[in-house]
């Protein structure tokens, strides 16, 4: 299947999925469902763009890693939100306690970023500039929903 036929196929599949959801009167998707759909679509996009099967497997593995990273980030952000609220609610919490917690959180974030930067480098190294450009331009509805959902983290 060439790439333009593949895109038509993706649009058609998307419309069918949308119709099925509407017909079933489905409730709004949870963040986890949005994430799962977006990363499934991303894997499909990568498979459609990269023809070399060996590199395709590497890239799909990296998308898997990206999905895990997102999930971890959501958990980390939620834990931070709850802990900060609890610290704030306690009238006797000191500046030092806030500073200690925020330093620990930022340290974890920097460690996660370092790991992610390595995945990003591996992703770039496994693609040609043309493939990377095509992957970068891919823009499915589920990815847009995921981006919107993540902006609030």
Interface residue with another protein, options 34, 38, 50, 126 (CB under 8 A): 38
- If we measure between CA atoms, which residue out of 41, 49, 70 comes closest to residue 143? 41
The two tokens of residue 49 are 């763009």
Burial (CB count <10 Å: 0-12, 13-18, 19+), residue 136: exposed
Instruction: Give the per-residue contact string, 117-146, with another protein (x = CB under 8 A; - = no).
Output: x--xx-xx----x--x--xxxxxx--xx-x
User: What is the distance between the alpha carbons of residues 26 and 62, in angstroms, rounded to a whole number?
Assistant: 31
Binding site for another protein (CB under 8 A): 38, 42, 45, 66, 69-70, 73, 76-77, 80-81, 84-86, 88-91, 95, 98-99, 102, 105-106, 109-110, 113, 116-117, 120-121, 123-124, 129, 132, 135-140, 143-144, 146-147, 150-153
């Amino acid at each position: 299947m060439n790439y333009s036929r593949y895109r038509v196929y993706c649009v058609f599949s998307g419309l069918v999925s949308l119709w099925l959801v509407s017909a079933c009167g489905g409730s709004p998707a949870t963040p986890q469902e949005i994430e799962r759909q977006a990363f499934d679509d991303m894997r499909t996009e990568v498979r459609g763009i990269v023809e070399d099967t060996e590199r395709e497997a590497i890239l799909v593995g990296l998308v898997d890693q990206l999905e895990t990273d997102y999930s971890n980030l959501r958990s980390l952000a939620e834990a931070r939100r709850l802990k900060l609220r609890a610290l704030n609610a306690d009238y006797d919490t000191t500046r030092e306690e806030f500073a200690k917690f925020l330093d620990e959180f930022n340290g974890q974030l920097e460690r996660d970023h370092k790991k992610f930067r390595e995945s990003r480098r591996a992703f770039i190294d496994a693609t040609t500039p043309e493939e990377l450009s095509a992957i970068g331009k891919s823009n499915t509805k589920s990815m847009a929903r995921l981006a919107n959902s993540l902006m609030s983290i």
